[in-house]
Structure 1
Amino acid sequence: MRVSKEQAAKNRQRILDVASRLMRERGISGAGVDALTEAAGMTHGSLYSRFGSKERLIEEAVAHAISTKGQEVPEDFGLDDYISEYLSAAHRDEPGSGCPFAALCCEMPRQSKGVRERFTEGVRGMIGLMSGRMASGLKPRQREERALATAASLVGALVLARAVNDPKLSDDILRATKNRLGD
């Protein structure tokens, strides 16, 4: 049975939504084709007919997660607001809807060139977003340096806060990083 172009686009979008969420929750290696097709309510055949391979799906799902998360940041959101929200317990506790950089960064060295390129483009976008929200009195190179350090601090703090099994230490990591970045 043929599927309309509109339905095919909806199915593709559903697969990308599910794949980007599952990869952030379980990791790329933990989001197998069986889990993806089951969560999306699709068959293996429909997944492969839309993406050709799991590798291509991973590339597009990583790009989709980054793009979707970037679109959630309001234009009038200041850097302090961004930092505060990023380093919140709510963000830490919901990796499936959270930052794809913190959720996937440790897996990137083992991914294909295409996946790493999409991830790298996203990191550059995050740095650009932060740089654009920094004090206007800074020279362009200073803004970029601060944006790089801020992005690394945010992602690193979130990764550590999620990794430890001590709730107080996890909260302390978020709080201390938020305080330090606010200086």
Structure 2
Amino acid sequence: MSKEAAAASRVRIVEEASRLMRERGIEATSIADVMAAAGMTHGGFYKHFRSKEDLVAAAIASAFATHADRFAQRSVTSGPQAALHAYVDEYLSEGHVTHPGFGCPAAALGSDAGREAAGVTSAFARGVEALIEHVSTAAPVGMGAPEARAAAIRRLAMMVGAVVVARGVGEGHLRSELLTACLDEAHFTVD
């Protein structure tokens, strides 16, 4: 296998692991599941990773990078405030709640990551830091860096919590009410 093919295989494995872990949880996602989803055999796993922990850390890093990159691209094309509005709308949507495999890893894996080894929690912490940094760039003019960071942390914590609770309560009026209330609050704090 060429280096290019090996690199492409690794990316495919990480992408599938990221999606499956966000859908099912870390513990409920086996190496065999990931390799099958990537269209590969279980035995090929160890050509790319030393352990499941290494895969989990890579999958979490990839999920956060994808999420943060989308925010950064919007910020470049539309400006930080418009990017934040779009981010909030997308985050606190029924689509995000019902499709965790493609959503924010903080909402999907927060409780799982806290139970994992240091390499996983470090990858998770770096991802959260990146999201905080992106959200804080949309702070109102004149707000100092510490205040912008604190506001970003509050907003992200509320949004992650809203999605976690909305997933937990299932379909119905309460889910809609949760998302609407938090969407209103998140937009209020942006303006």
Which residue does the alignment assign to 1:97? 102
Conservation of the 8 A alpha-carbon contact between 1:58 and 1:115: yes
Which of 4, 15, 18 is the aligned partner of 1:17? 15
Question: Where does 1:38-49 land on structure 2 (aligned, <5 Å)?
Answer: 38-49=36-47
Conservation of the 8 A alpha-carbon contact between 1:48 and 1:54: no
Question: Where does 1:78-117 land on structure 2 (aligned, <5 Å)?
Answer: 78-117=83-122
Q: Whole-Å Cα distance in 1 between the matches of residues 84 and 59 of structure 2?
A: 27
Which residue does the alignment assign to 1:150? 155
Q: Whole-Å Cα distance in 2 between the matches of residues 176 and 164 of structure 1?
A: 15
Which residue does the alignment assign to 1:69? 67
Which residue does the alignment assign to 2:185? 180
Q: Whole-Å Cα distance in 2 between the matches of residues 115 and 107 of structure 1?
A: 10
Which of 55, 58, 61 is the aligned partner of 1:57? 55
Long gaps (5+) in structure 1:
none
Larger displacement relative to structure 2 (120-129 or 158-167): 158-167
Tell me the percent identity: 39
**SS of alignment partner, residue 48 of structure 2:** helix
Shift in Å, 1:166: 4.3
Which amino acid letter does the alignment assign opposite residue 39 of structure 2? Answer: G
Q: Whole-Å Cα distance in 2 between the matches of residues 8 and 53 of structure 1?
A: 17
Which amino acid letter does the alignment assign opposite residue 175 of structure 2? Answer: S
Conservation of the 8 A alpha-carbon contact between 2:36 and 2:42: no
**SS of alignment partner, residue 78 of structure 1:** helix
Conservation of the 8 A alpha-carbon contact between 1:91 and 1:98: yes
Which residue does the alignment assign to 1:133? 138
Using the size of structure 2 for normalisation, the TM-score is: 0.91
Q: Whole-Å Cα distance in 2 between the matches of residues 4 and 123 of structure 1?
A: 34
- Deviations 1:137-168 (CA, angstroms, capped at 9, x unpaired): 21222111111100100100011111112421
Which amino acid letter does the alignment assign opposite residue 156 of structure 2? Answer: A
Which amino acid letter does the alignment assign opposite residue 10 of structure 1? Answer: A
Shift in Å, 1:129: 0.5
Runs of 4+, deviation exceeding 6 Å: none
**SS of alignment partner, residue 28 of structure 1:** coil
Long gaps (5+) in structure 2:
none
Which amino acid letter does the alignment assign opposite residue 35 of structure 1? Answer: D
**SS of alignment partner, residue 51 of structure 1:** coil
- Deviations 1:42-87 (CA, angstroms, capped at 9, x unpaired): 1222111101111111111111111112112222243222211110
Which amino acid letter does the alignment assign opposite residue 161 of structure 1? Answer: A
Q: Whole-Å Cα distance in 2 between the matches of residues 82 and 166 of structure 1?
A: 22
Which residue does the alignment assign to 1:29? 27
**SS of alignment partner, residue 114 of structure 2:** helix
Which residue does the alignment assign to 2:169? 164
Which amino acid letter does the alignment assign opposite residue 28 of structure 1? Answer: I
Using the size of structure 1 for normalisation, the TM-score is: 0.95
